[in-house]
Amino acid sequence: MRLIPEYEPVRKLCLSFVQVFFNERFGYGRAICEIIHAARRFVEVELFIGLPDLPFFEEECARRKVSLDSVTLNYDTPGRAIVAEYVPVFAEDSSGEGVALVFRNPRLEHALDLKCFSERLAARLGYRALDLGFDLATAMLSVNEELVLLSEGLFEGRTDREMKLQFFRDNFPAQSFHIVPPLAGDVTRDLDMYLWPIAPRAWVVSEYQAGSPQADSIEPALRILRDHGHTVHRVPGLEPIIYEDINTMPNYANGVLINGTALVPQYGRKEDEVITGILRDHGYDVMPIDSSRIILSNSAVHCISKTVPAAPRAVGIRPD
């Protein structure tokens, strides 16, 4: 089997709208409207939404002049808007059939319900569900061709580390697995807060002042990328936002790629131009998504979206 990189062709983009908390406090509705407007020309968009929340989202769409005519509304909702915490990790087996890795994310309330939702989602998408039998979080794993990075946040101790690594190495022998630290100061411990695989053997990585805790925390991942001959493009790492109960690390690595189009977090800063230039140089059409409010919940575009690969196919590396 092989884990499928997210820069490969996709057939669907999944989003989840939840009015209470996620929209009321952090404006998820506006960001989701922008994502739908940008993505629906290139891919099918499916929105998980409970019927009681639908009027609130329809009002947001009306304000933004976004039509839902081409959006699939799925009333089987997970009840949680940050889908990159719990949805399946997609793979393909040696016969080219799709496999969805499902798991429990212990950091979340109703973790077992979210796992059951992921199993139902896998079945609807036509993927065979593979229950990992251990805890995981979707955004703590990042794939680029033969190289797979895993966040240290996945591992509770030596035994847990060895067991999980052995599973990945046994089931994905053509890919190389490496554990890297999360970004210093980031409470999520997710890799999409500073790493973004944008093309085969090419990455976007946040850059911080030399000698800072953030720069030191990123160095092990950079060393692994250099050792494997991957290309790294640096983008500005922004200062943290900390006040009251908000503790977040705005970044440009938390984006989504959809069939030649890049949905990119933007913050209304001059630094926004750097990531736009890099992605255009790689041939992407860039669609900016205002993430200035949703980032206050430790989320940006990648966190609130999930791409579903196109029909599995053997590309890049050969599945075993």
What tens digit of pLDDT does each residue of 170-211 get? 999 999 999 999 999 999 999 999 999 999 999 999 999 999
Please state the φ and ψ torsions of residue 248, each to the nearest 5 degrees.
Answer: -140, 160
- As a whole number of angstroms, the longest Cα–Cα distance in the chain is 53
User: Quick one: which of 261, 263, 250 has its CA closest to 305?
Assistant: 263
* Tens-place pLDDT, residues 303-312: 999 999 996 5
Question: What pLDDT is stored for residue 65 in this prediction?
Answer: 95
Q: Where are the domains of the chain?
A: 2-309
DSSP string covering 249-272: ---S---EEETTEEEEEE-SSTTH
State what percent of residues in the chain have pLDDT above 70.
97
Burial track 238-266 (b if 16+ CB lie within 10 A, e otherwise):
beeeeeeeeebbbbbbbbbbbbebbbbbb
Within 13 Å and on the Cβ side, how many CA atoms surround 54?
Answer: 14
Question: What pLDDT is stored for residue 312 in this prediction?
Answer: 56
The answer on pLDDT for 90 being more than 60 is yes
Q: Which helix (H) or strand (E) holds 46?
A: strand 44-49
Is 92 within 8 Å of 63 (Cβ atoms)?
A: no
User: Quick one: which of 74, 138, 72 has its CA closest to 102?
Assistant: 138
Pairing state between β 305-309 and 10-17: antiparallel
Q: What is the mean pLDDT of the chain?
A: 94
Cα 267 from Cα 154, distance rounded (Å): 29
List the structure tokens of 135.
């805890």
Cα 240 from Cα 228, distance rounded (Å): 30
Q: Which parts of 40-150 fold into alpha helices (H)?
A: 54-64, 111-125
Cα 256 from Cα 253, distance rounded (Å): 9
Question: What pLDDT is stored for residue 12 in this prediction?
Answer: 96
Cα 190 from Cα 168, distance rounded (Å): 18
First to last CA, the chain: 6
Pairing state between β 261-266 and 202-207: unpaired
State what percent of residues in the chain have pLDDT above 90.
94
* Tens-place pLDDT, residues 250-270: 999 999 999 999 999 999 999
Secondary structure string (H, E, C) spanning 135-154: ECCHHHEEEECCEEEEEHHH
Cα 167 from Cα 165, distance rounded (Å): 5
List the structure tokens of 310.
């196109």
Cα 10 from Cα 32, distance rounded (Å): 18
Superfamily of domain 2-309: L-arginine/glycine Amidinotransferase; Chain A (3.75.10.10)
- Which positions ≥6 away from 147 have C-beta within 8 Å? 175, 176, 178, 224, 225, 228, 230
The answer on pLDDT for 313 being more than 50 is no
| DSSP label at residue 303 | T
